[in-house]
Amino acid sequence: MSNGLEGSTTAAPRPRTMSQNAAGWSRGCQIEAVNLKKSYRKGLVDIPVLRGVDLVVQQGEFLAIIGQSGSGKSTLLHLLGTLDAPDGGTIAFNGRRIDNLPGSDRDALRNRSFGMIFQFYHLMPELTTLENVLAPLMIGESAWGFFRRRRRHRSTAERLLELVGLGHRMNHLPRELSGGEMQRAAIARALVARPELLLADEPTGNLDQKTGAEILQILRSLNRQEKLTIVMVTHDPAIARQADRTVRLVDGRVETVNSDD
Ligand code: ADP
Ligand code: MG
């Protein structure tokens, strides 16, 4: 449905439910998107995917985003994770705008503050489980810095692999692991730099129901015990029900889902 304002860049003043800081962002929230827009160009036409997404995720919250295939869930998660830039609207992390940062600042933010996991794990096939978990630290530090702290880093990685139940698979290559084990390794890798926010794109999408439930259990306890904020995309309402709150992407916008829906 079009209200004739679709392409407008001036956001109408919107009602706020929370108090704002000086910059106008909601207080106490970890990540906030305002009027986010994104289109993809196909031939000569722009196909709008996100048409004005408003989303506030509180610190320590576990939010699920559901929506049909093609509704823009991955697109939204990529924007929140600064992997891609919106065409319109803004994103703030801890009260600071992040959607317009230069590339190097975005890289640093992703490396230090965000952890990401994906449906297909994206482990490096030639590295062992332990090396895969260490990889973000190698990328995030100078060679000398990593070398000096290698023992501490190694014990952090080992502790995380124990935490996700993979202590007995540290020296295995990804091809020697099951799907559930690869996702556990990917979770440990996402956590190794102690992120504040975990962005998970269909983390159980490639797993059987039982293994998916185990992965959800790990995410649930990371959220409760480590107070990790989680934004998880899933097409499965049963998986989403285990989050604190669910929103649905419909027609390029976010709508609230009641727990009894
Ligand atoms: P979901 O994750 O909900 O399945 P996506 O965010 O992956 O949806 O995709 C939303 C829509 O945008 C789909 O129609 C998809 O084909 C399109 N799309 C996604 N990424 C691109 C891209 N890089 N180029 C062109 N179209 C894209
Ligand atoms: Mg997707």
pTM value is 0.89
The protein residue whose alpha carbon is closest to atom 18 in ligand 1 is 40
For the stretch 98-118, pLDDT in tens is 999 999 999 999 988 999 999
60: left (phi over 0), alpha (psi -120 to 50) or beta: left
Atom of ligand 1 nearest to the CA of 77: 6
Amino acid symbol at 158: E
Neighbouring C-beta atoms of residue 248, cutoff 10 Å: 19
**What span, in angstroms and rounded, lies between the C-alpha atoms of 35 and 17?**
15
63 lines ligand 1 (CB under 6 A): no
Taking residue 111's Cβ as centre, other Cβ atoms within 10 Å add up to: 16
Distance, CA of 77 to CA of 108 (rounded, Å): 18
Share of the chain above pLDDT 90, in %: 76
Domains in the chain: ranges and CATH: 62-82+102-258 (3.40.50.300)
Mean pLDDT by 10 residues, the chain (261 residues): 38 51 69 97 93 96 95 97 96 94 92 92 96 91 86 94 94 96 95 94 92 93 93 93 95 87 61
223 lines ligand 1 (CB under 6 A): no
pLDDT tens readout for residues 133-172: 999 998 878 888 888 889 999 999 999 999 999 999 999 9
Q: What is the DSSP string of 57-104?
A: EETT-EEEEE--TTSSHHHHHHHHTTSS--SEEEEEETTEE-TT--HH
H-run or E-run covering 203: none
User: Is any atom of ligand 1 closer than 6 Å to the C-beta of 70?
Assistant: yes
